[in-house]
Chains A and B, each alone.
Chain A
């Protein structure tokens, strides 16, 4: 038993010494809601270029994680995080409203067009994905659908709209069509057996495998299916003619003790190099700033959609009432 306890003590000694070197006074703590499979390589490149160690707390898919936005709000008075890399915009705006973010206008801020950043610099968007209608090309006849489709929906899937980009999608519908129309459609959709599934990844799988004819998801999930050789195509979701582009957003947390490193990371993430890397990743995220190098064909195809993208900032005021309604619905 003594040997076992000694081994554990030595193990903890090694672990704690490694951890303390990572979270030294210069090391940055980054909360990252973007998928680790794409974002970790970017953050490691920053480490290599600057020599600043980065400790990352990742968000997890669907229900398996308490949201990082919620965690940052809870930690507001005693922040541990220096930089927040969110994979959408409205949650970051909630942090801004709570006074949890610090304004910074560095070199990256200037690169990004006005609709995708806070004018005061509390947060800046980069590398967007789009909400899309993903269609299985084997399904016959090809489905016809509008923004709020009618008829049988038992072969149609959407993620539970309580989180992430699907929530943004619903808030957009709420704003454009009004609450009553959306509520009526939701009732109809559930009566018509619309599949509400835990996440966008599952929507992608249902459509890719032909279990559903089509579904609403994001471009990064669509491209996973496409790379797998699945029979799928996509159309951008258009609400009153406008596409829904959801950028990553990045912000410095108020109270950071590593301001200089945090600013360097913000500039790095908003750089052309990072946007290009994310465009060339399997997620094919669309750069918001000017990129001079050649982009992959899939990304080129999506670039025009940016011109008709909905301005997400005005949606923020509708998010809370929409979310309250969705919660009261007790979705299955």
Chain B
């Protein structure tokens, strides 16, 4: 029987072992290093996930303090608490911190911490990427925060509209801090999205099909795919705006063929899906907690999955509803208005599924359930005002008023913060191993609920009375005084509630009584382990018949798959994406400071950009390349390994000897994000060409035969690279693969030389938006060409150093994938420019 067919068979149980022996063996392999080395070098998902959540909590507190300052200023009509300039910085930082430094990292942290546990794995697919994401987040967030202390914080509102944020109207570095800092943090988000996607598809317990996995998996999968597609528009927009500010490339300058509306499109192409990116993990937590608290199973699993699917797609068809007042034609408004109203349907399906679950069960009003009820009350109201804002005539009246501020807080606090607090109180015993101190949590809940609705319910009225967002004084509008005062008073109640919530968490962590195992009697795998969760999660991995919380003891005794760590490696099971059939064993990386070093050199690039020392940035880029090269150096193996017997009758190969590895899946996910960025760039070209004033562009300098020759050389060399990547993979090891990889490197260099020649022929990109866009298209091709050449070089090094062999492919599958992508996008760009020239 072949290995593949063998893994179709339900694995038999491994013989039981002494649980304590397994625990010690696994702890020695999976634990963080002691002391400071552990702080700097940890890659374990439990540690990194908790760090993400704790850091996000700190940023939430800082954002909360800023909101208190805003409310103090607005408590009276002539507030002199803050001057206008500082007020602008504070409301911008409040929004930016809450969205980019609290909500997204918090959901990333929850996903990193929880997913392996609830799916039955030992870690995330890419532990070093988890750590890199954390350090990028911490460094980027710190840069943004320090700007506030230095008095140069962003001050153009959290959506940084142009022309307010361009060099003319924001001449200082305030906007640069936002653009560079947020982009730095977004690296962390995309990294998290890649590994969440791959983890859910490949790192589940044996024979857990997608159609039976916990709903949390579906929600997180939807979230991560949305992040892969939704974040690149913002990254692209930030790059373009920073290039305009730094080098004068006029993407948003009307006088030179740009258009400020392009920024709005790119921002909200990210910004509206972002709302659902935040909501879906929270909804996943609700779908996990509500059945447990109601002592039943979820009602309508299939309908909920379909609702997630609907939300993931429809949320990308709503972005223009943030732009209803910019003068878009009626028909386009109607498209987006209809989509905005329609998206309420899948949301409502979930709400009714949760209500039905409570209805059919025996609900218990424990603390997580209180927060669930708070969610229902708050989020449904926010959703309904969302439907109101989806209707164009109402939107025109309420646009940019306090009504919108109230709506977004109902949606974000209702749809994310209340479920998050339900989740924290629910999983806290698994985090710290202790039960909570009675009553404190209930008091915090009521303070938060009353404080929130007291603050924001009346804000709807303030908005309907006409009060605009973001003003610091309102001396001529006495009708706004009372509602603002009420909001300010209740906001202090809300702040006290959050402070008490944190106090409750701290009390539980340090002074709570030891919790019994599975205190909520939940059925999911996250509770099939000791409290607090050990570094390795499961002493043996779950398998059919031992795949719920009741299997805690058999799994601890090694009766599941892959017991212990007999080879001294961090091993976890990789399954086929759809069926969950065991595929191979992945050996995950050990503790390392490489992610920290990588984040540091990436940070140095951003700092140099921020300081305007552009001539030194190539050094930082070289440093990034060198450090990333190290990532590859420590991977791979110089020999073939025998299959691992994960269970009786279940021999599985190690990941070095299979093609469809986690790394390959990660490369595919990365290219999805990359493809989204490229598609947005094409959208930018199309949008400015068709809609922007200031077109047609001045006469092009791309005349004569040389541009066509250089493009043909570049494309030809890239095509040769694609062929050699295939040949190198087919050759696998030995001189042949080495020679083919070297040919790939040479082809890559030739393509880059041709592209560099083309750059010399381009018109001055500062002249017109068309020329600037051509510069960006060429830059995109160059960056991808460089990476393809480096992957070819990596393959050469793998072949030379014996990391490739008859059954070991090294980096060739990823090189081939990347090379094909580079070739395809460069060809499309060439066709686009040729089309501009011809028509």
A associates with B: no
